[in-house]
Amino acid sequence: MHLTESLTSWSWEQKCRKAVAALELNGFTARYCPTPDDARRHILEQAADARSVGFGGSLSIVDLAVQADLAAAGKEILNHANPGLSPEEKVAVLRRQLTCDLFLCGTNALTLNGELVNIDATGNRVGAMQFGPKKVIVVAGRNKLVDGTIQDAIQRVKQWATPPNAKRLSYKTPCASTGFCSNCNAPDRLCRVTTIIDRRPRLTDLQVLVVNAAMGL
C-alpha cells in the first residue's frame, strides 16, 4: 500500500470509528470493519440461527455477495430483486421481509453523530429497518459518512444516491437524465419516504457495520 493510500485509509478509519462510537451512544450495536470481507464474515456468522433472510435492495449488500452462501446454507432467501418474479410475487416478498429472521440492507447516509438517514420510494426498506425482523444488519461504507447535520445527510442522498439509483432502475425522472435532483413531481419519483433513525428503535436488534471502503451509492 502506497503512503498516500495508507494515510487516506487511516484518516477514514478515524471517521468510521467516530461514527461507531456515536452509534453506540445512541443505543445501536455498531462495529468497525476494516474491509468488506470483515463485514461479510460478520453477516454470515450472525445469520447462523436465521431461517429466513431478507434483502433490502442494497448495492452495499450486493457487493458483499452473501446471498449465494446463505442460500447454500439452507436459508430462505427473500429478495424482491430476484429475476423472474411477477409484480404480485414481488410484493409478497416485500411483505415477508417485514417479518424475516434477518434483514440486510444499506443506508443512504450516516452522520458522525450516529444518525441513519434514508430516502425510499416504497418504504419497504426503511420500514423493515425500524420494526419487524428479528435482527437487522445495516452496512455503511465510508462513502456514506456525513460530517454535518441531518439536512446535510439528506442532501448527500439527493445528490449522490438517488440520481444514479434512478438511472440504475431505469426510472423516468429528471435526475436519471441530468444527475441532479430537481425536487420533481414525476410519477417515478424515488424520494417519497424520508426517515431519520437517531436512536435504536426499542424493539429492534439493529446492528450497523461501518466499513472502511466505498460501498454502494
pLDDT score at 157:
98
CA-CA distance, 211 to 11, in Å (whole number)? 13
DSSP helix, strand, coil percent of the chain (3-state; round to 5): 40, 20, 35
Residue pair 90/139 in contact by the 8 Å Cβ criterion: no
pLDDT score at 121:
96
Pairing relationship of beta strands 52-55 and 102-106 according to DSSP bridges? parallel
Stretch (H or E) spanning 46: helix 36-46
CA-CA distance, 189 to 124, in Å (whole number)? 16
Residue tagged 485509509 (cell numbers): 9
Q: Average model confidence (pLDDT) for the chain?
A: 97
Q: Report the DSSP beta bridge partners of residue 140.
A: 210
Which parts of 4-64 are beta strand (E)? 29-33, 52-55
pLDDT score at 217:
96
Backbone angles phi, psi at 104, to 5 degrees: -115, 130
Residue 33 Rama label (left phi>0; alpha psi -120 to 50; beta):
beta
What letters, b where the CB count within 10 A reaches 16 and e where it falls short, cover 146-162? beeebeebbbbbbebbb
CA-CA distance, 102 to 79, in Å (whole number)? 12
What is the Cα gyration radius of the chain? 17
pLDDT score at 2:
87
Residue pair 153/116 in contact by the 8 Å Cβ criterion: no
Low-confidence ranges of the chain (pLDDT < 50): none
Q: And the C-alpha cell for 92? A: 409478497
Stretch (H or E) spanning 63: helix 59-64
Burial class (CB in 10 A: 0-12, 13-18, 19+), 171: middle
Specify the pTM: 0.96
Domains and CATH numbers, the chain: 18-147+198-211 (3.40.50.10420)
pLDDT score at 1:
73
